[in-house]
Structure 1
Amino acid sequence: MSVQTTTTTTTKRKPTGRAGIIDGKLYLSQGITRNLAPAHGNGGQFDSIPVVDLSAIVSPNPDAKALETLVTQVKDACMRVGFFVVKNHGIDWSIVENAFAALEEFFGLPMEKKMAVHQSKSPSFMGYEEPYYTNVDRLKKGDLKESMTTAYDPWTDELGVGNEMPKLLLRENLWPNAEDAPKFRPAMEAYRAACLSLMRKLIRVLALAMEEKETYFDKKITYPIAGIRALYYPPQTTSEDEETGLGAHTDVQIMTMIAQKPYNAQSLQVLNAKGEWIYPELPPETFVVNLGDMVARLTNDTFVSTVHRVRNDGPDAVGRYSMPFFFGLSNDELISTLPQFIKEEVPLNPNYKDPVTGYEHYNKRMRIAHHDHPTADGKTSAALPLGMTKIDGVFVSGL
């Protein structure tokens, strides 16, 4: 079996702005500053988003050569782009279509029904966000989107540990009333299960691309991050300084996998080292995958967590539904930069000097990004209590 990578013909519309780029440096509202050209490696050197075939990891009889080719292709995408589109992923697309139908059902509810499960009622940032609730780029109005976020559940995961998951790490979901939106919860849980199953395979490819054993992450994902952020972006007609769909940002976790409807909507934009916003081209029944900041930390920025945003504008823009699935390690797992990525010519990024848990990293980022949330004032600790931190799935005394 051979695995081919197809590079898309990428449409480049003239960027409507430079969203925080000043003198070659990008400023993000979460307190992140990035040089457009990375300090080392070839990150950002792209003008299209590669497409990779995942047959090698979903086939019942995987071919060793095909897997080797896939690892090579994923590694290249991780080092240059931080994004890639996946096809032949093995997910029954009816699960995705049912989830999109559930999004239409939920976002079509009267506002008071949606506000009943508003994110401000959740200490862990689960629930509904109305238009302009976030303002990532600090624009006049903010982010023109609606979202509904739900989290991993160890009782519905076929490999979950149930009550063994620490209560502090549970993110309790706010589900809409089943009488108002009967499709929503079952469709989200089915979509989560399908995405999680694929991500447990794909993270083994990532481990091999990082020159680790394919089982490197196995004990680190006992109760993984597996969040879904259901989104609706209406068409935009205003200028960029007024509003955008979602401002320029990087993702928090290990990997994000996104389905969108319409599949060919040109709204997601990925920033390259030349300061150009590139639009991924998604063939039918495919997902776009991108790396998050935790992979950048693990690899000392050799694998890139690339800045991206959403602008649902243009003469042909229609309402866009999107379902990012965020995948990360168990939130009590301590993360340090791997030694093979620290060299004399590539010294450790000073920001990565101290190991961090996913719990601390996530909470610090969310408190900054969600400045109106009840926890945003930082009165409660973002760190885990003493004795709750693990390394490779095992509690470590003194941490």
Structure 2
Amino acid sequence: MSTETATLATTKRKPTGRAGIVDGKLYLSQGIVRNLAPAHGNGGEFDSIPVIDLSAMISPNPDPIALEKLVAEIKDACMRVGFFVIKNHGIDWSIVEETFAALEEFFGLPMETKMLYHQSKSPSFMGYEEPYYTNVDRLKKGDLKESMTTAYDPWTDELGIGDEVPKLMIRENLWPNPKDAPKFRPAIEGYRAACLSLMRKLIKILALAMGEKETYFDKKITYPIAGIRALYYPPQTASPDEETGLGAHTDVQMMTMIAQNPYNAQSLQVLNAKGEWISPQLEPETFVVNLGDMVARLTNDTFVSTVHRVCNSGDNATGRYSIPFFFGLSNDELVSTLPQFITEEAPLNENYKDAVTGYEHYNKRMRIAHHDHPTADGKTSAALPYGMTKIDGVLVPGI
């Protein structure tokens, strides 16, 4: 594991460049300010990432005691770390291997071919990003990665509702021409279906860990966020002041699920309360799962959305492929902090005072992060149009 300090700025003034720690607070370039540990609870107090066995969840006849133990393990990981590794998850690993082969095929194409599908051509931030297109930590060069982002398609979801989904909720994909990358779309859609099926089970466990019924989220994920960002990280050769794989950040949605190749790469790093970067220790055929900002909002930061980054450097670094799957509620669903997480000891975070839809939350973050995009911050509205907001999947008049 890496124990490099996260301190990148130590002056008394707020840093204007790289992410950094000032007066005990961590400033990130997307406008996020975090204490290293939450104001309440014991979040951030970890020196390793827990490994959780999901056998009880995927069993057709789960043992009640085993299921209760799983809920407790998930709750502990969510409160202390915000990350955990899952094994015995039930996903056929050949699906993952086929997806990694598709990533090699696509990222091996000539740059001019990949640029035909560039994200700047998509109003919903789908498509390709070339190396250094993003610069999360404001380094000299930026983020050394290539990515190809695709969104949920309700017509390929066996539980989706197709034509009933509001048009504004549908993110149009920029798929590569099958003549150039014949493996890519079939593999990505197969991977999406497998991850989505698992996440629909895992969010029931998350609901129980929050003290809700396991059905709490059912009507809130009618047409969920189910995005995939296919990524390739070349080995970093420049100094840490010039580039990183992906700068320090938190994730936007409910949960992220990540497969990586090679499985034992130590590139993903998670920030603990002592300012140390901790790398998950993965076994073959396991995923990393982490919480996003929407879970933190729901639980008043009792469940933590933890800062993390990618640094694909070191003497033994090789190219790393990664397939994060981003899972969230229906984008028009209004999200408010659950009352059981607001107490005298843990007053409501001021940032959570106003309820927000996933649509608004996502688009605000993307507009800040993608400065040159045609819909960047200040150029267009991130708000959901009047009359489209739902609670439990039902339209609410007057919002």
TM-score norm. by structure 2 comes to 0.96
- Could you say which residue in structure 2 is the equivalent of 1:45? 45
> In the aligned structure 1, how far is the partner of 2:231 from the partner of 2:282?
18
Aligned counterpart, 2:2 = 12
**Gaps spanning 5+ residues in structure 2: where?**
9-18
Q: How many Å apart are 1:24 and its aligned residue? A: 2.1
- Select between 246-255 and 18-27 the one with higher mean Cα deviation: 18-27
1:13 CA displacement: 4.9
2:56 is the alignment partner of 1:29: no
Does 2:229 correspond to 1:229? yes
**TM-superposition CA deviations, 1:281-338 (whole Å, max 9, x none):** 1110000000000000000000000000000001100000000000000000000000
- After superposition, the C-alpha distances for 1:183-217 in whole angstroms (9 at most, x for unaligned) are 00000000000000000000000000000000000
Name the counterpart of 1:98: 98
Distance 2:167 2:121 in 1: 18
Q: How far apart, in 1, do the equivalents of 2:233 and 2:93 lie? A: 22
Q: Deviations over 1:323-368 (max 9, x none)?
A: 0000000000000000000001110000000000000000000000
Q: What is the TM-score of this pair, normalised by structure 1?
A: 0.96
Question: Which whole-Å CA distance do the structure 1 matches of 2:24 and 2:39 have between them?
Answer: 13
Contact conserved, 1:16 with 1:240, CA < 8 A, in 2?
no
Distance 1:146 1:17, change over 3 A: farther
Partners of 1:378 and 1:14 in 2: CA distance: 36
Match of 1:380 in 2: 380
Unaligned runs of 5+ in 1: 1-10
Kindly provide the CA deviation profile for residues 77-135 of structure 1, in whole angstroms up to 9, marking residues without a partner as x.
00000000000000000000000000000000000110000000000000000000000
| Cα distance in 1 for residues equivalent to 2:377 and 2:157 | 33
Corresponding letter in the other structure for 1:358: G
How much has 1:63 moved relative to structure 2? 1.1
- Separation (CA, whole Å) in 2 of partners of 1:16 and 1:390: 40
SS in 1 for 2:117: coil
Map 1:308-387; keep pairs closer than 5 Å.
308-387=308-387
Task: Determine helix, strand or coil for the equivalent of 1:116.
Answer: helix
CA distance in 2, matches of 1:133, 1:323: 18
Q: Which residue of 2 aligns with 1:249?
A: 249
| 2:2/2:269 contact within 8 Å kept | no
Letter in 2 for 1:102: A
**Displacement after TM superposition at 1:272 (Å):** 0.2
Q: Corresponding residue for 1:165?
A: 165
Counterpart amino acid of 2:235?
Answer: P
Offset of residue 61 of structure 1: 1.6
Q: CA RMSD in A?
A: 0.9
What CA distance in whole angstroms lies between the structure 2 residues aligned with 1:391 and 1:84? 29
Q: In terms of mean alpha carbon deviation, does 11-20 or 171-180 score higher?
A: 11-20
Residues 131-178 of structure 1, C-alpha deviation per residue, up to 9 Å, x if partnerless? Answer: 000000000010000000000000000000001110001000000010
The Cα offsets for residues 249-288 of structure 1, whole Å up to 9 and x where unpaired, read as: 0000000000000000000000000000001011100000
Show the counterpart of 1:7: none
Q: Tell me how far 1:238 sits from its aligned partner.
A: 1.5
Separation (CA, whole Å) in 2 of partners of 1:302 and 1:142: 32
Aligned partners of 1:270 and 1:277 also within 8 Å: yes
Aligned mates of 1:217, 1:16 — CA distance in 2: 35
Q: What corresponds to 2:131 in structure 1?
A: 131
Runs of 4+ in 1 over 3 A off after TM superposition: 12-19
Q: Secondary structure at the match of 1:235?
A: coil
For 1:12, give the aligned amino acid: S
- In 2, distance between residues paired with 1:328 and 1:377? 22
